[in-house]
Amino acid sequence: MSFLHEANVMHRDLKSANILISSDCNAKICDFGLSRSLPQPVTTLDGFNTMAVREQAQKLFDEKA
């Protein structure tokens, strides 16, 4: 998830059914149908900024409604 957020992508439908695990325990995230790209970076020099992600996701949601 950190990689997605660094790429300014918000998955928006992360649940156990959308996480695939192979027989050798490699995990992959699938089903990006509801994902959105965020207009601004959501990471800081200190790392992942959860509040920035939430604020931008809320803006996108409000614009679509």
Name the amino acid, one letter, at 49: N
Q: Do the beta carbons of residue 35 and residue 9 sit within 8 Å?
A: yes
Catalytic residue among 13, 24, 31, 62: 13
Active site residue 31: no
Q: Give the start-end residues of each E strand in the chain.
A: 9-10, 19-21, 27-29, 36-37, 43-44, 47-48
- Positions marked catalytic: 13
